Structure 1
Amino acid sequence: MLVRDPNSAKFLIIRFSSFGDVVQTLSVPSAIKETYPNAEIHWITRKDMAPLLKNHPNIQRIWEFDRKAGLSGLIKLCLQMRKEGFTHIYDAHNNMRSRVISWILRPLGILGVGPKFIRRSIRRWKRLLLFKFRINTFEMPFNGQRDLLEPLQPWGISRRAPAAPQIFPSEESFHKAREVLGHYAGSVALAPSAAFFLKRWPKEYWQELILLCPDQRFVLLGGPEDSFIEDIKAAAPERVLNLAGKCSLQVSSSVVGLSAALISNDTGLLHVAEQLGQKTIALMGPAPFGFPSRPSTRILEIELKCRPCSKHGQGPCVNKFKYHQCLVDITPQQVAMELKQLLQRNQP
C-alpha cells in the first residue's frame, strides 16, 4: 500500500446520483481541503451527473460510470482505480454499486487493511422511528449538507459547509444560458417541479404568485416531462419564459446563477442555488433529507404533526384533516411578500 503524508492524502468520493444529492455533496471536496490542503481528490459518479462536478477547483479527477456498462463495466473501472493508491475513501452513497467499489478497492478492508474508509449511514432505524412511529431522533433542524459532512469528523473534517460557491458552471454553459435567457437575464427563476407530486407547491399557486408580482419577469425551469409548467406560463405569457426541458443540468445551473433569485420546491435546483450562494426561497413540504443548508436561503414551511411523512415525499399524504396541507397552507401572498423582501435585501 502506498504510504502518504496526511497533508497530501489521496481521497475518493463515491456519489453517483441524484441531481440534488450530487450538488449537495459538492461541499465535501472543499471541506476535505480545509483539513488536508495538499490532498488529491477524486470522485466517481454517474456519467450524466459528471458535468456538475467539472471546474470544481478541489476535484482533481472525475471517474464517470455509464450505467449501460453494467456490473462488468463498474468492475473494470474499479480495477483501473486501484492503481491510484487512494489513502481515504468516502462512500457518500451507500448502495450496492458503492459497496462493489469499496470491496474491490479494499479487498482486505474487513481486516483493517487498505485505505481509510467511511461509509455514510442511511440511519434506517432512525428513519423507521420517524416515519412509522413518529419519533424523531434526528438532529434538528434538518440540514442536507451537514448530514453529508458529519460522517467525516473522524478524519478531522468539519461538518460546517464551506462557503459558496461550491458549484462552478463552465463559461460555455453561462454563454448558452445568456443566449436562451435574452432579456430575461436578471429575472426571478422558478422551479415548480419535483420528483414526487407531494413535494410540489400547487400549480395554481405559482400562477397566482406571478399575477401578484405584475412588475416582475419570471423564468420557469424543469424537465422535459414537466408539461404542466406551460400552464404556469399562461398566467402571464408576456413576461414569463418557459425553459422546462430546454436546458442541460449545467445550463439550468447557469440560468439560476444569472437570475435575481430562485423560488423552488424541494428539488435539485434548490441546492444549485445554495451552492452558488444565490438568493433563494425554499418551499419545504413532506420530506426531511433535502433541507437547505445556507443562510442565503429563506425556508418556508408549515409545522405539522404529520410532517415529515416520507423519505422522498413519495406519499401518500397521511394528513387526515387537510390533503397536502404542508404546502397548501403556504400562500402565494406569503411567498410574494418574501420575494419582495429578498430582492430588496442588500440593495443600495
Structure 2
Amino acid sequence: MFSNSKTAKILVIRFSSFGDVVQTLSVPSALAQTFPQSEIHWITRKDMAPLLKNHPHIHRIWEFDRKVGLGGLIKLSMQMRAENFTHIYDAHNNMRSHVITWILCPLGIIGVGPIFIRRSIRRWKRFLLFRFRINTFEMPFNGQRDLLEPLQPWGVSKVAPPAPQIFPSEDSTAKAAEVLGDYKGAISLAPSAAFFLKRWPKEYWKDLIALMPTEKFVLLGGPEDSFIEDIHAVAPERVLNLAGKCSLQVSSAVVAHSKAVVSNDTGLLHVAEQLGKKTVALMGPAPFGFPSRPSTKIMEIQLSCRPCSKHGQGPCVNKEKFHQCLVDITPAQVAETLRTKLAEPS
C-alpha cells in the first residue's frame, strides 16, 4: 500500500497566484494525513517559494523562474525526473503544468510512470454559471474544498486540515515586529484586491476606522495601492500604513501579529485563514476564493447577479445598483461583526 511506503514521493504543482498558493498550502497536510510516510515536493514560481518554506509537510521546494522561459522549465522538469515521483497532483492546470506532467508522465499512458491527478478547471460549469446563471457547483462555495476534492480518489479528505497551514519564517516575523512597533496586536485591514469590483468602497474603510475609535489599525497592500494613503489619513494617530512597504512574507507575518483581520477577497484573506486568525471576509462578485474556516465570518449580499465573473474582473452586471454586492455591506455592519469576532475566545 502507498500509505505504508517509505519511498513514495508526491509532487504538487501550483505556480501562482498569491491567494491560490496560500490556499493550496492545505494540500500537503491533507496528503500527509492520508499518507503519513510520504515525501512531498512542490514546484512553484520563484517569487512564491518563500510562502512554502517552514511548512512541516513540504520536504522540497522546486522554484521556477519565469525569466528562463519554456527551455528552463523543460530543463527543470528533466532534473525532476530523477526524483521518480510516485504521485503527481497538478493543482494548477495550465500550459506550464502540462509541460511538467508530459515530461514526468511518459506519454500519459495509464500504468506508466507516476499516478496522476489534474484538478479540473470545470469550464462547462463556469460557462453555465456566468453565461446562463445556472449554478451546478457544490454550495456553499469553498476555495480549499475545491483544491482538496480532486484528491478523494487517493483517500484524501476534502475538509481542510486545521490551521496553521502557513508558517512565516523567524526572519519575516522579526521584520514584521520591527515595522509594526506599537501596532503589534492591532487589527489588520486589506482594502485592495486585484480587480476593482472585489474592493469594498474606499470611503467605507474610513468609516469603519471612525466607528472603532479605541482600536489601532494596520493597512496592508501593494506598492500600486496609493489609494490606501487616503484611508490612513482619516486617523493617522492610530492607523499605520504598510502598503507597499512589506514583502508577501513580511505581510503574512504582520497578519500573524494581528488580533483580527478585515479583508476583501484577496490573498491576505487566505493568509489570515491559514493562520487561523479571527477574520471578517467581504465577499463580492467572484465565487472561487471563499474561505472555509470557522475563524472567518463571511459577509455577503445575496443577489441574483452573483457571482458574475471568475475573478471579479467585471463589468458589473447589476442593472439596478452598481457594485451592490459590496456597496450594500455597510461599515456599521462590519464594525458590529468585527466586535463580535473580537469577543470570541481565541
TM-score higher than 0.5 here? Answer: yes
Aligned to 1:288: 287
CA RMSD of aligned residues (A): 1.1
CA change 1:165–1:5 in 2 (3 A) is: closer
Q: Secondary structure at the match of 1:302?
A: coil
Aligned residues of 2:105 and 2:114 also touching (Cα < 8 A): yes
Please report the TM-score for the alignment, with normalisation by the length of structure 2: 0.98
Once the two structures are TM-superposed, the CA of residue 107 in structure 1 deviates from its matched residue by 1.5
- Partner of 2:281, secondary structure, is strand
Deviations 1:315-347 (A, max 9, x none): 000000000000000000000001111111117
Cα deviations across residues 130-149 of structure 1 (Å, max 9, x unaligned)?
00000000000000000000
Other-structure match for 2:85: 86
Aligned to 1:342: 341
* Displacement of 1:108: 2.9
- What is aligned with 2:231? 232
Contact 1:173 1:254 in 2 (8 A): yes
1:78-227 aligned within 5 A:
78-227=77-226
Secondary structure of 1:161 counterpart: coil
- TM-score, normalised to structure 1, is 0.98
CA 1:208 to 1:96, structure 2 compared with 1: closer, same or farther past 3 Å?
same
Q: CA deviation at 1:6?
A: 4.9
Aligned partners of 1:5 and 1:148: how far apart in 2?
21
- Secondary structure of the 2:93 match is coil
Q: Does 1:66 align with 2:68?
A: no
> For each residue in 1:93-149, what CA deviation from the matched residue of structure 2 results, as whole angstroms up to 9, or x when unmatched?
000000000000011323441100000000000000000000000000000000000
> Per-residue displacement from partner, 1:20-78 (whole Å, max 9, x unpaired)?
00000000000000010000000000000000000000000000000000000000000
Could you tell me whether the CA contact under 8 Å between 1:108 and 1:114 is conserved in 2?
Answer: no
SS of aligned partner of 1:131: helix
1:42 maps to 41
Q: Which aligned pairs between 1:191-340 and structure 2 lie closer than 5 A?
A: 191-340=190-339
The structural deviation recorded for 1:266 is 0.0
Contact 2:3-2:36 at 8 Å conserved across structures: no
CA distance in 2, matches of 1:71, 1:110: 23
Question: Structure 2 CA distance, aligned partners of 1:191 and 1:256?
Answer: 10
| 1:335 match: secondary structure | helix
Q: Secondary structure at the match of 1:223?
A: coil
Q: Number of paired residues? A: 345
SS in 2 for 1:237: coil
CA contact (8 A) 1:7 1:37 kept: no
- The percentage of counterpart residues that share the same residue type is 78
Supply the distance in 1 between the matched residues of 2:269 and 2:334 (Cα, whole angstroms): 15
Amino acid at match of 1:226: D
1:84 is aligned with what amino acid? E
Give the aligned partner of residue 25 of structure 1: 24
Counterpart AA for 1:158: S
**1:282-337 C-alpha deviation (Å, 9 max, x unpaired):** 00000000000111000000000000000000000000000000000000000000
Contact map agreement 1:41 1:59 (CA 8 A) in 2:
yes
Name structure 2 gaps, 5 residues minimum: none
Q: Which amino acid aligns with 1:169?
A: P
List per-residue Cα deviations over 1:186-242 (Å, max 9, x = no partner): 000000000000000000000000000110100000000000000000111111000
Other structure's SS at 2:226 match: coil
AA partner of residue 236 (structure 1): A
Query: CA separation in 1, counterparts of 2:318 and 2:4?
Result: 51
